[in-house]
Amino acid sequence: MRWGVVIALWLASVVTVWAQDVQPKLEVTFEESETVPGQPLTLRLTVLVPTFMPDPPVWPDFETPNLMVRLPSKASSPTSKSIGGETWSGISRRYQITPVVPGTFEIPAGEVKVRYRALEGSDVLEATLPVPAQTVTGIVPEGAEGLDPFVAAEKLALTQTVEGDTSGLAAGSSFTRVLEVKIDGVSPMFLPSVTPEEGLAGLRAYPESPLVEEIENRSVVSGSRVEKTIYVVEGGVAGALPAVRLQWFNLKTGKVEEASAEAIEVQADAPVLAPSAEPLDVKKVVRWGAALAVLLLSAWALVRWGVPVLRRFWHRAQDRWLQSAGYAYGGLKTALQRRDLSAAKLAYLRWAQKVPLAGQEVEKAIEEAFLQIGAARFGNDSAAEEVQAWQHLKTLCHRKHHETRYRRDTKTPDLPPLNPVSTHQN
């Protein structure tokens, strides 16, 4: 009897250890936690399961004030690892964490939700894996403490272009100042505005919205910021638009450098002519005053009663469209085009709730197509098989859309008549 109890306890402990060993695992890699503001750090999360995942994991977003969190190109990639002599499959996700300003910031704890096939049978299990909090520090290099704003890059160039003449101008003439900053090693979103706010008497500035372009090549970010301002002459002008100076820290040399653009001399002789004085027309003033009063009263009535009605009508129409089957099917087509499995399954469920059932053969084929894609992506199937499965799924969804788009019946077929009518007459 004593040996039976010992063996039972031993078996229970072995089963417990075995069950623990086959639970999904999460590996968190964050090798460096300090960097210069604007320079990214790499945080990698790797999920491993003993079988395969029919759906991609649900990842945390890590949104934190003063930190820019982004997913580089090909952020997620399949992986595998030998654990206990067995090959586990998994997927790795890479985040780029960039401090925007100097200081120490905490990435809050999160969690990864994963669904995976059981070792035995066809059951799909679920697990939630905790992600510990991380600390990120943005540090200012020695010698760059006085930079305001702080800009650090591997390379920075400032160029200036003037379109049009800037001397001998008359009232109404114009010219354009274009300032372009090209930067390597950091996103151009960290560049400040470089166009001086100071102007010249008799010259009015009309700035356009800055054009920011970012380029990523093998995880190396570069880009440019273009600021374009049109200056129109309104009177006599004699002076210069200020020069531009931008100090920045060179990550390669470890020194503070300066990019500059020279001042622009502007000269215009013709002043703005003052309008000649005319005698006051009292009747005209009264008519314009009455018309203005009617206009203001009409505008007040429209704001008071008309705008709320139009707003309610617009919101109702927008809500009807967002809840419509057409909108849901558009979201499904977008997800299928991007081959985003998680988004495609969610979009399909939303659409399927809004349309009648198609034929049993089509419904079953769609379900099998989702399973084939999951097995191809997270299993051992080839990429060509996954592409074929995606194409087959798009064809099936289009077929279901064609069958159900003009139907208004319910999802459950109607029952046959309780009292069939006979064609035989007594």
> Would residue 392 count as lying in a domain?
yes
Give the end of a domain, one of 111, 138, 165.
138
> Would residue 54 count as lying in a domain?
yes
Same domain? 131 vs 201:
no
Same domain? 156 vs 134:
no
More confident residue, 41 or 416: 41
Structure tokens at 229: 């301002």
Instruction: Output the pLDDT for position 349.
Output: 87
Structure tokens at 207: 């700035």
Q: What is the mean pLDDT of residues 81-98?
A: 91
Contact 387, 394 (CB under 8 A): no
Same domain? 169 vs 263:
yes
Contact 237, 202 (CB under 8 A): yes
> Would residue 7 count as lying in a domain?
no
> Would residue 115 count as lying in a domain?
yes
Pairing relation of β-strands 134-138 and 34-35? parallel
More confident residue, 245 or 332: 245
CB atoms within 10 A of CB 237: 24
Q: Is residue 202 exposed (0-12), middle (13-18) or buried (19+ Cβ within 10 Å)?
A: buried
Same domain? 80 vs 172:
no
Instruction: Output the pLDDT for position 424.
Output: 44
Kindly indicate the confidence band of residue 271, based on its pLDDT and cuts at 50, 70 and 90: low
Q: What is the mean pLDDT of residues 331-338?
A: 85
pLDDT at residue 292 above 60? Answer: yes
Structure tokens at 267: 């000269």
More confident residue, 205 or 10: 205
Task: List C-alpha distances in Å: 256 to 142, 147, 157.
Answer: 10, 9, 14
Q: What is the mean pLDDT of residues 400-414?
A: 65
Contact 163, 176 (CB under 8 A): yes
Residue 406 DSSP SS3: coil
Poorest-confidence range of 12-26, 89-103, 164-178, 243-257?
12-26
> Would residue 422 count as lying in a domain?
no
Kindly indicate the confidence band of residue 18, based on its pLDDT and cuts at 50, 70 and 90: very low
In degrees, rounded to 5, the angle at the alpha carbon of residue 349 between the alpha carbons of residues 348 and 352 is 80
Task: List C-alpha distances in Å: 196 to 163, 210, 226.
Answer: 17, 14, 14
pLDDT at residue 123 above 50? Answer: yes
Same domain? 175 vs 127:
no
Same domain? 184 vs 261:
yes
Same domain? 160 vs 130:
no
> Would residue 2 count as lying in a domain?
no
Structure tokens at 247: 């100090």
Kindly indicate the confidence band of residue 158, based on its pLDDT and cuts at 50, 70 and 90: very high
Same domain? 128 vs 163:
no
Same domain? 255 vs 162:
yes
Same domain? 133 vs 168:
no
Instruction: Output the pLDDT for position 297.
Output: 85
> Would residue 305 count as lying in a domain?
no
| Phi, psi torsion values for 98, nearest 5 degrees | -125, 120
pLDDT at residue 114 above 60? Answer: yes
CB atoms within 10 A of CB 71: 13
Tell me how far apart the 2 most distant CA atoms of the chain are, in Å. 123
What CATH number is associated with residue 233?
A: 2.60.40
Mean pLDDT computed over every residue of the chain: 83
Q: Which of 2, 126, 113, 136 is nearest to 61 (CA)?
A: 113
Q: Which of 100, 124, 105 is nearest to 33 (CA)?
A: 105
**Structure pTM?**
0.52
> Would residue 308 count as lying in a domain?
no
CB atoms within 10 A of CB 57: 24
pLDDT at residue 116 above 80? Answer: yes
Range(s) of the domain holding residue 49: 24-138
Task: List C-alpha distances in Å: 166 to 110, 170, 199, 206, 345.
Answer: 58, 10, 14, 16, 61
pLDDT at residue 425 above 50? Answer: no
Over pLDDT 90: what percentage of the chain? 30
Q: Rounded distance, CA 299 to CA 293, Å? A: 10
Task: List C-alpha distances in Å: 330 to 109, 321, 322.
Answer: 35, 11, 11
- Which helix (H) or strand (E) segment holds residue 261: the answer is strand 255-261
Same domain? 95 vs 166:
no
Poorest-confidence range of 44-48, 381-385, 389-393?
381-385
Highest-confidence segment of 269-278, 291-300, 310-319:
291-300
How many folded domains does the chain comprise?
A: 3
Contact 294, 287 (CB under 8 A): no
Same domain? 28 vs 76:
yes
Q: Which residues contact 257 (CB under 8 A, 6 or more apart)?
A: 156, 247, 248, 249, 250
Residue 347 DSSP SS3: helix
In degrees, rounded to 5, the angle at the alpha carbon of residue 59 between the alpha carbons of residues 111 and 79 is 110
The residues with which 176 forms a beta bridge, in sequence order, are: 163, 230
